[in-house]
Amino acid sequence: MENTRRTPRILWGAVIFLALMGVAVAARRALVLLYPAPFAGNHSPAAALDEGFALHRSLTLMHVIPGFLFMVLGPLQFAKNIRSGHLRFHRWSGRIFVACGVIIGFTAICMSFTMSIGGLNQAAATLLFAVLFLFSLVKAFLHIRRREIPQHPEWMLRAFAIGLAVATIRPIVGIFFATSRLTHLTPRDFFGTAFWLGFTLQLIAAEAWIHYTRRERNDRASAQSAETLVGTSPTGLARPLF
């Protein structure tokens, strides 16, 4: 029982950590573009990347500003207390979350064609997962419009997991930068690999959690059905049916 309770807490901690990292990444990128003098890293490995983003300033800002809101609102969409106790806020924040996600998805597709640091490999990863990201958002929206409640959070989680990959990719890129003296790999060599790893790990984690919660939900529904039929509680003690 203790392990069952601990697992969601660990996962929640990981999600909050990644979301905060995503907020920091989006905030830094926006600040570097808006106020380059105090925030740009002149001698860090990120300096060359900053120059690349600066060449497409408007497109990048259209991507990272909604990304900031996406990272802030994402964890709130899955907080049980907010869903049950603040339904109006949940619905409106969800609409903003989806709207930001749509902007992020389409700007990511544009960026994959115009400013891919890792060449064709990164462009392919960005394009594929941007399409999956938009598809997940559309599915989530359609399910809630049809009042198909169990499917809605699953597709929202898939979309959020893909969005969180921006944070997962950062430490992977950091490892490549740290080992570049040994591997002699340049950002053009390893950025694509980092993107494939980050996106794939996030989607695998999301699917594993969806499978786990779906099985738990089905087991709970089966137990409740059995209790109703026999008129007993989980402890085996008889209880009234009405």
pLDDT at 38: 72
Query: What is the model's pLDDT at position 73?
Result: 96
* Structure tokens, 154: 């699953």
73 in any annotated domain: yes
The 3-state DSSP class for residue 45 equals coil
Question: What is the distance between the terminal CA atoms of the chain, rounded to a whole angstrom?
Answer: 30
Q: Convert 148-169 to b/e letters by CB count within 10 Å (16 or more is b).
A: eeeebbbbbbbbbbbbbbbbbb
Mean pLDDT score, 131-160: 95
86 is a domain residue: yes
Residue 236 belongs to a domain? no
Query: Looking at the predicted structure, is the pLDDT value of residue 231 above 60?
Result: no
User: How far is CA 11 from each of CA 4, 7, 46, 178, rounded to the nearest angstrom?
Assistant: 12, 6, 30, 27
User: Are 176 and 109 in contact, with CB atoms under 8 Å apart?
Assistant: no
Number of domains composing the chain: 1
Asked whether the predicted pLDDT for residue 139 surpasses 50, the reply is yes
Q: Is residue 109 part of a domain?
A: yes
Q: What is the mean pLDDT of residues 66-84?
A: 93
Contacts of 179 (CB under 8 A, 6+ apart): 185
Strand, helix or coil for residue 232: strand
Whether pLDDT at 147 is above 70: yes
Predicted TM-score (pTM) of the model is 0.85
235 is a domain residue: no
pLDDT at 3: 58
Asked whether residue 67 is domain-assigned, the answer is yes
Q: Per the domain annotation, does 237 fall within a domain?
A: no
Is residue 201 classed exposed, middle or buried when 0-12, 13-18 and 19+ CB atoms within 10 A define those classes?
A: middle
Q: What is the residue range of 107's domain?
A: 2-225
pLDDT single digits (tens) 7-62: 778 888 999 999 999 999 999 999 999 988 776 656 566 666 777 788 899 999 99
